[in-house]
Structure 1
């Protein structure tokens, strides 16, 4: 552990000590009546016109004003899936998650932090895949604040932190795998979306744990070769498709020729020596594998003339 990491203290959320605001709201009219009675009683009259009466009136008026100020400005509201981070002169005093009207001393800070799910669609970023091919990728991430103390005090701006880490995690996961599988049977960005999305979610959860943020869902929403190599890669994909189709045609033709020769020999339709067998195989393969229609040629002689 280095000196820098030893000085860093990870915050941890705990419940703040606040009070039921409805109870204080009910007591508010009582406070006003009491304040009215006190101020009215302290007004200097004919029986007490001196300086002492005036001083008593000023102190009574100031005291009731301060009490009413404290009473009124201590109210705050907590909506569903919203929290309030309470601080006292810069020190963390807890987090209030109880819904409804709450009350706390007005000199305590009450920062609002949403605990609702946030949805971010990242910008398209250009990265290099495992084979070094430039690709354009984008993702969609659903995240929420799990620990409000970490989100507020352990990072400078947790929303900006999320945006930066999403791009960094996307680059990391995108560089682990090739865009497509041309030669080896391995995980690819295009062919294994479930695996790649799971890795992206795990990567983001690890990166955002320091900010008390959890990722509920993450997945690629855009995946394409970069414009400078898109044409070449398209031709390569087309060539691979042609090769695969040709391979399937040839294998099918070989099977058909084999069945034909076996049936001719089994039924005794014609006796074929090695040369005639080779000629028939050649002709059948040309007919079955050719791209164009074949033209029949009638041989009036023999194979040896």
Structure 2
């Protein structure tokens, strides 16, 4: 508990200072989180407590203490990316050597094996004479076996590291579980044979999906086939950042179709192209985290789901029939009105109200019969 003391020193008429008087201290509560809170704020019925001016204090709220919660300014929430991958996992070129280095090492290893065989006396006399070497008969001892092992390892290491790079292909190299770089070079080269090689296709590719579930703006179930144009941009993230980047891309397309309404081609103008642009944007944002670059996601076939196909086809046919009937009726009415107006204005006939109604009725029946016959044919 901390106490607050107040000392007042006043001069008496005689000039001597008066003894300091200690005022009753205001009891406060103190915790480890912030400053002090006067007790008189909590226990106002205590007559000995006088108000003590303090700065406004805010404390952390603890269960059962009666303290006020801390007031903090709102912290803006930053938008998080769709997916998070190890930021250090970025494609970088691997260290490789020209093919001549591997060939030279292999030839040195082969020559070493021949020399050790001569040393041990295992070469036939014909080969020894052809090479112009003296006959040696040291035999196979520990030194010869060690020399064999070293020369053989050098030969295998040299010839085993030779590799041929092709255009549109890359190798992701790893050594003991650690990423060592990516090889995008073409032609013959030497790569450390101890490194694990994973071949990746970095060409521009397209994928035509199987029918995937989707929905239109009204929630009607659809089946959509999409064409995705994409390529691997960062081989390290595509191979090591996700288990299977092609499956990941497929799941991204399905997730985007679940969020974007797709309309049939006969719907509103531009609805299919607008849905394609939205799908491309969403899938590209989701796939960028694993090193995939998506250029286009376009629906190529849209149809109703099997469970609602029959009902929606009947509904569509009924709507088309109603639209056709309305169009035909409007055309007949316009034709009848134009005919009656011309006959009347040119003075060919003089009609009262009854005769006008009869003429309109007969013309309407005639025109409707003619339109129906033309439609049937």
Aligned pairs for 1:8-157 (under 5 A) are 8-9=86-87, 11-25=89-103, 28-37=106-115, 40-41=118-119, 54-157=141-244
Q: TM-score, normalised by structure 2?
A: 0.64
1:225 to 297, 304, 311: 304
Q: Considering only CA atoms, is the larger Rg found in Structure 1 or Structure 2?
A: 2
Deviation, structure 1 residue 219: 2.9
Verify the 8 A CA contact 1:42 1:56 in the aligned structure 2.
Answer: no
CA distance in 2, matches of 1:193, 1:168: 18
Compared CA separation, residues 228 and 111, structure 1 to 2 (3 A) = closer
Q: Which residue of 1 aligns with 2:63?
A: none
- For residues 134-167 of structure 1, give each alpha carbon's deviation from its aligned partner in whole angstroms, at most 9, with x where no partner exists: 2222323333212101101211222222232232
SS in 2 for 1:162: helix
Verify the 8 A CA contact 2:263 2:272 in the aligned structure 1.
Answer: no
Verify the 8 A CA contact 2:173 2:198 in the aligned structure 1.
Answer: yes
Aligned pairs for 1:264-283 (under 5 A) are 264-283=343-362
The higher-RCO structure (CA 8 Å, 6+ apart) is 1
Deviation, structure 1 residue 284: 1.8
Compared CA separation, residues 29 and 128, structure 1 to 2 (3 A) = same
1:208 to 287, 293, 314: 287
Deviation, structure 1 residue 242: 1.4
Compared CA separation, residues 145 and 277, structure 1 to 2 (3 A) = same
Q: Which residue of 2 aligns with 1:259?
A: 338
Verify the 8 A CA contact 2:265 2:272 in the aligned structure 1.
Answer: no
CA distance in 1, matches of 2:254, 2:262: 16
Q: Which has the higher helix share?
A: 1
Q: Which residue of 2 aligns with 1:301?
A: none
Verify the 8 A CA contact 1:115 1:145 in the aligned structure 2.
Answer: yes
Verify the 8 A CA contact 2:102 2:161 in the aligned structure 1.
Answer: no
Verify the 8 A CA contact 1:136 1:225 in the aligned structure 2.
Answer: yes
Q: TM-score, normalised by structure 1?
A: 0.77
CA distance in 2, matches of 1:7, 1:135: 33
SS in 1 for 2:350: coil
- For residues 51-84 of structure 1, give each alpha carbon's deviation from its aligned partner in whole angstroms, at most 9, with x where no partner exists: xx94443332222122122212212222221110
Deviation, structure 1 residue 281: 2.4
Compared CA separation, residues 116 and 31, structure 1 to 2 (3 A) = same
CA distance in 2, matches of 1:48, 1:233: 94
Q: Which residue of 2 aligns with 1:241?
A: 320
SS in 2 for 1:143: strand
SS in 1 for 2:194: coil
SS in 2 for 1:201: helix
SS in 2 for 1:130: coil
CA distance in 1, matches of 2:136, 2:298: 82
SS in 2 for 1:76: strand
Compared CA separation, residues 282 and 137, structure 1 to 2 (3 A) = same
CA distance in 1, matches of 2:164, 2:203: 16
CA distance in 2, matches of 1:218, 1:85: 27
Say how many residue pairs are matched: 281
Compared CA separation, residues 228 and 65, structure 1 to 2 (3 A) = closer
